[in-house]
């Protein structure tokens, strides 16, 4: 929060500095005896508009496994990416020829997913003795699986930005950006059997034994990906209800008429608030061939690159 307040203060100082520079450049007022009220209406328009576009989302959640389990399906949670929609309204108030303030309010969905192939120790269904000819014990083989998660969060996004005209109709925007969660975050987890023949997924997410080729669950908390055994080693984490960050963008205006324009924008949104805090689990993917491992998931981040098209109306 302190960082956001600092950025906002710096933003206001920068805007004030640019306005002061313009006054210094014209110490005797506007050229040509231009009427003040007429100049203000011409040079400081008020713009309302709508916008829509897509987010390219990038999620990161590092984790530490002790010891390291090779080719674990749990690794799917390390990262993710996805595309999601955004649409809303904006207002733009010109302070000078160079500087303006732009405010936005939008429905902003964030989506990230990842798929990871890995191995799980499985019973091949063939029993063997020590010489491979009897019927005692069982044979463990590496069963290939595909683990996938998909995270969806619907938010209301708000931003108050400084708009700076760089050259001609090219402009940049910078300022604080915040999202507020609508409802719950939804995460869908899925584990799919790949092979070899004769192996099966032997338990579902509710810990019901069976013979499954695919298991799936929907959850509203951050937790490990594979089915777990209830114990103190497993913890969960809630997703942040609101997040604050910094947005940096650039755009270009294409005038359709004197009072209507289109402006494609490219924006990067870096979120200071974490997506969720850390949690723990035990990796039981390959207990017979590699042993079990303790997993510490670190806090997760989700940042976005947005491609937005604005339609503005000068009032």
* 10-residue averages of pLDDT along the chain (315 residues): 46 46 46 47 79 98 94 96 98 94 98 97 62 57 96 98 95 98 97 94 92 96 90 91 98 96 98 96 94 95 98 96
- CA nearest 110: which of 146, 177, 145, 157? 157
Task: Supply the pLDDT for residue 15.
Answer: 44
Question: Is residue 102 within 8 Å of residue 48, measured between CB atoms?
Answer: no
- CA nearest 98: which of 166, 32, 144, 155? 166
Task: Supply the pLDDT for residue 230.
Answer: 77
Range of the domain at 83: 2-314
Show Cβ contacts of residue 6 under 8 Å, excluding neighbours closer than 6 positions.
none
Domain total of the chain: 1
Show Cβ contacts of residue 62 under 8 Å, excluding neighbours closer than 6 positions.
78, 297, 298
- CA nearest 77: which of 297, 303, 304, 305? 297
Instruction: Evaluate the omega torsion of the peptide bond into residue 196 and state whether it is cis, within 30 degrees of 0.
Output: yes
Output the DSSP codes for 11-75: HHHHHHHHHHHHHHH-TT-SGGG--HHHHHHHHS-EEEEEEEEEEEEEEE--EEEESPPTT-GGG
Task: Supply the pLDDT for residue 40.
Answer: 45
**Cα gap 209→123, rounded to integer Å:** 13
Show Cβ contacts of residue 169 under 8 Å, excluding neighbours closer than 6 positions.
252, 253, 254, 255
**Cα gap 47→260, rounded to integer Å:** 9
């Amino acid at each position: 929060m302190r960082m956001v307040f600092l950025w906002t203060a710096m933003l206001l100082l920068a805007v004030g500095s640019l306005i002061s520079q313009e006054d210094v450049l014209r110490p005797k007022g506007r050229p040509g005896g231009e009427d003040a009220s007429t100049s203000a209406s011409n040079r400081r328009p008020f713009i309302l508009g709508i916008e829509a576009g897509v987010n390219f989302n990038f999620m990161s959640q590092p984790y530490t496994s002790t010891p390291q389990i090779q080719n674990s399906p749990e690794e799917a949670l390390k990262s993710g990416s996805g595309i999601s929609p955004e649409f809303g309204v904006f207002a733009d108030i010109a302070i000078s020829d160079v500087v303006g303030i732009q405010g936005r309010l939008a429905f902003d969905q964030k989506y990230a997913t990842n798929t990871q192939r890995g191995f799980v120790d499985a019973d091949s269904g063939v029993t063997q003795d020590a010489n491979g000819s009897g019927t005692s014990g069982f044979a463990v083989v590496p069963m290939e699986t595909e683990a996938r998660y998909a995270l969806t969060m619907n938010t209301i996004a708000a931003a108050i930005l400084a708009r700076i005209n760089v050259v001609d109709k090219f402009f940049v925007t910078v300022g604080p950006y915040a999202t507020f969660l609508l409802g719950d975050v939804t995460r869908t987890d899925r584990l799919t059997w790949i092979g070899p023949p004769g192996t099966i997924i032997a338990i579902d997410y509710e810990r019901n034994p069976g013979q499954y080729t695919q298991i799936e669950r929907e959850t509203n908390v951050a937790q490990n990906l594979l089915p777990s055994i209830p114990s103190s080693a497993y913890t969960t984490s809630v997703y942040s209800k609101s997040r604050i960050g910094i947005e940096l963008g650039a755009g270009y205006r294409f005038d359709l008429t004197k009072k209507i324009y289109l402006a494609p924008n490219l924006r990067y949104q870096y979120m200071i608030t974490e997506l969720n805090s850390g949690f723990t689990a035990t990796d039981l993917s390959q207990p017979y061939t590699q042993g079990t491992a303790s997993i510490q998931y670190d806090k997760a981040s989700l940042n976005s690159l947005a491609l937005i098209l604005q339609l503005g109306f000068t009032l």
